[in-house]
Amino acid sequence: MRRSSARCPLHRNGAGLSTGAETPGGVDRVRLLADHPEVAEYALITAVVASLAISLATIPEAQLARQLPVTAARAQALISKSARANGVPAAQARSVMAHAPYGRAALRYLYAEGWITGRKKASECVFAKATPDSTQRELARGLKSDDRLRARLGRMHVTVDQAAGALTRGTAAAC
């Protein structure tokens, strides 16, 4: 009886453990540190951007559909209430809304809501600033899923993309 030259991977190196370098699907120990930091960094950024988009998109869906302001006075009252609820100075939030780069009250309100979120969660602010395009796309996807909010935005002549852009810019402006 002839013995095969192939060996069982469980019996390598005497102790029954494989380093992985010999197997076709194993981990290359020489290049282990050369490849994986970039992959880990990309995965981390993707995960944080996704969590930012989800958290920003769920707040407006719950609140904005019923209280998106038409007038500047109503917007200031809502921003003050939201700022106090999130532990952010209301006067500072009203100032941010007054200096928002938008002319319409609804977009200034959304910008200030994004700013409050960025102040409350610094990591979301950093990632909104680092990856604004992907954050805006994810927010738009989340906002499109709420029919009441889309209808309210339509009555205000604000598109979903404009709303997502205002939220993203406001969040990025907080840091």
Given pLDDT bands bounded at 50, 70 and 90, which one contains residue 142?
A: confident
Domain chopping of the chain, boundaries: 33-173
Residue type, 35: D
* Sign of the alpha-carbon torsion through 34, 39, 44, 45: positive
Q: What is the pTM of this model?
A: 0.64
Cα three-residue angle 162-164-168, rounded to 5 degrees: 115
The pair of structure tokens assigned to 138 is 């994810």
**The most confident of 30-34, 53-57, 68-72, 163-167, by mean pLDDT:** 163-167
Question: How do residues 36-92 score in pLDDT, each as one tens digit?
Answer: 666 666 666 777 666 666 665 555 545 555 567 777 888 888 899 989 998 999 999
Q: Which residues contact 96 (CB under 8 A, 6 or more apart)?
A: 111, 112, 115, 170, 173
Lowest mean pLDDT among 54-63, 102-111, 134-143: 54-63
Residue type, 99: H
Q: Is 33 exposed, middle or buried (0-12, 13-18, 19+ CB in 10 A)?
A: exposed
Residue type, 30: V
Residue type, 121: K
